[in-house]
Chains A and B, each alone.
Chain A
Amino acid sequence: MAEVVLEHVTKRFGDVVAVKDVSLTIADGSFTVLLGPSGCGKTTTLRLIAGLEEVTAGRIFIGGRDVTRLEPKDRNVAMVFQNYALYPHLKVYDNIAFGLKAAKRPRSEIDRKVREAARLLGIEDLLNRRPRQLSGGQQQRVAIGRAIVRNPNVFLFDEPLSNLDAKLRIQMRTELLRLHRRLKTTTIYVTHDQEEAMTLGDTVVVMKEGEIMQIGTPWEIYNRPRNIFVAGFIGSPEMNFLHGTYQRGVFTLKCGVELGLGLFEVPEGEAILGVRPDDVYLAGHGPPDRSDPLSAVVDVIEFLGSRAIVSISLGEDRLRMVVSDALVGSLEEGKECRVVFDRRKLHLFDPRTGERLN
């Protein structure tokens, strides 16, 4: 159990800067997710914490100890790799026991801990098999077992579910959460799947090109994105962005339509309005605090079952909105419709810096 602190950590590979001056505190016992597109530096950051890579600058602390110069084996961390990294020539039992054997623990202790971990993960009857005889999900569980059994200070997960099929992924997600509730070990989890990040993490760190874009709870990240990148990366379907100008409480779209927003602390000038498809409604069905109705033309309707994603045109701008299946029948492609925005869920961004304005 330990707190993990990164102080001004930078990692350079030749000319490429993978991690740029990152400072981060990960609370003891938390489930922190490092989220971002590929190449954003999240895996590198994880490997730096593990000790598999050496920092170019900065320091790393685990449980108050400066581990920056320490080898992975002296940091008391455990890692679960994306493609499991099991020892192909050892049985499942020996795979899990490997770390304990390396630490020269007595055989009875090893046996007890391995069986306990196996029971926890539901793989007791696989103990005598070899990795190549197991399915992907089973191999992943063995990898997790190998990590649990050492009682480390920190669990590190490097996109462990990305090699599994969709159904298995959702199943394993629940199991990981259950495991975390039970063991309460500090967990750092890397993924590029924002849905995974939102459901698993109690803290989410959004990264882009080696820098941290925002740290917060899933709620904060979703409802108060600090910049356009975070706003656009989180949430599915993606947030709509409309360009326009803001003046005296009114946001004017390019097509001339005006929205009264009433936010007076925001500086005047050009701005980008962000609104999620879930927060765009058909006129007459919106929330109490809503904008005036706007006229739009229906472009494409994508039917998904209980809801549909409808693409509409507002002058020159294109938007997407989510409409429940009960109401979608009243819409027709090419015909007009009237929509309203939820005024509590609007976001304004500076077009030059991308930073949030409201």
Chain B
Amino acid sequence: MVIPLLLMLLAVLVYPMGSSLWVSFENYRLTALHARHFVGLANYAKIPRDARFWNAMGNTLVFVSTAVFLEFVLGFALALLLHRRVRMRNFFRSVLLTPMFITPVAVGLIFRFMLNSEFGIIPYILKTIGIEVDFFATSPLALFSIVFIDVWQWTPFMMLLLLAGLESLPREPFEAARVDGASAWFTFRRVTFPLMRPVIVVAVIIRMLDAFKVFEYLYVITRGGPGNSTESIMYYIYRVGFRFFRMGEAAAMSYVLALIILLLVFLEFQLLRRARST
């Protein structure tokens, strides 16, 4: 019964992976197919010296850590708020979850429109209180504007995961804490947070993996600019592979990226193991 699945995965997953790997060992250029031949690890060797690759990698790491951190803090706060017996809780939850379901391209365009320095509503409002900002024109700000958009879209996802975790916690220890005289903050620090640790680690891993793939916002807003300050690693690889059609190099870069991600996930899993043993 597993055979159809295995066959299908073989066709859509394993074969493409292997094929990409092979391509990464050739100097495969779509613009010069006749010249394609095996070059071993030459494509990989180019990477350490590729400043633009590391710039993109750096941008992505800054993006991922900032965005996921903010999404975690805000998501946890919202989850805690929604965990209580508030009236209209389901309504709030349903509406607050909607951003994560929207195609990121649309979200990108929405915010590009709203943050546009000429006719965007937000700079307009800021101007009336005396602040003049161009969100996408200058270097660190542009990247953080993208972070802001990601936070708008994906905080609900964090909130969802953390809320599910909160609701699966046993109720009695919390009543015991109330009677034992613990303040709300003490209970959070000493009971809620420790009991949530496994859920937190998994939620952060999942979100991190996704955040690494940031592409859409860049495609419809900054295209990597100003300069290369918002070029993410996915965007750079896309350019190399589908703008310059240097497939071999792109394939090599994508495998290096996969390895780096694998390494990070492995580290996080170690953290998870430690969290569960306490």
Contacts and interface: CB of A to CB of B under 8 A. Distances in A.
Interface stretch (B22-30, B73-81, B124-132, B176-184): B176-184
Interface string A23-36: 00000000000000
B195 A73 contact: no
A73 B174 CA distance: 12
A11 interface: no
Nearest to B170: A88
Contacts of B173: 85-88
B118 interface: no
Nearest to B178: A72
Interface in B181-211: 181-183, 186, 190-191, 194-195
Interface residues on A, range: 20 to 34
A226 interface: no
Contact of B181 (A81, A90, A150): A150
Given A88-B195, A89-B195, A89-B278, A52 B176 contact: no
Interface string B234-263: 000000000000000000000000000000
A356 interface: no
Contact of A52 (B175, B181, B182): B175
B278 A146 contact: no
Interface stretch (A57-65, A98-106, A245-253, A291-299): A98-106
Chain B, interface SS category: helix
Contacts of A89: 191, 194-195, 278
Interface in A8-60: 50-52
A103 B172 contact: no
Interface residues of B, number: 18
A78 to B, nearest CB: 7
Contacts of A200: none
Nearest to A85: B172
Nearest to A131: B173
B185 to A, nearest CB: 10
A85 B183 contact: no
A214 interface: no
A71 B178 contact: yes
A85 B178 contact: no
Contact of B172 (A78, A81, A99): A81
A79 interface: yes
A77 B176 CA distance: 11
B179 A98 contact: no
Contact of A79 (B176, B182, B194, B278): B176
Contacts of A73: 178-183
Contacts of A52: 175, 178-179
Contact of A102 (B172, B180, B195, B278): B180
B172 A83 contact: yes
Contact of B176 (A51, A71, A85, A103): A85
B169 to A, nearest CB: 10
Interface in A65-113: 71-73, 77-79, 81, 83-90, 98-99, 101-103
A98 B170 contact: no
User: Which of A83, A89, A146 has the most CB atoms of chain B within a 10 A radius of its CB?
Assistant: A89
Interface of B: 170, 172-173, 175-183, 186, 190-191, 194-195, 278
In the complex, the 5 A-B pairs of residues with the closest C-beta atoms, listed nearest first: A85-B172, A99-B180, A73-B181, A102-B182, A85-B176
7 contacts: A72-B179, A73-B179, A81-B172, A87-B176, A98-B190, A99-B180, A99-B181
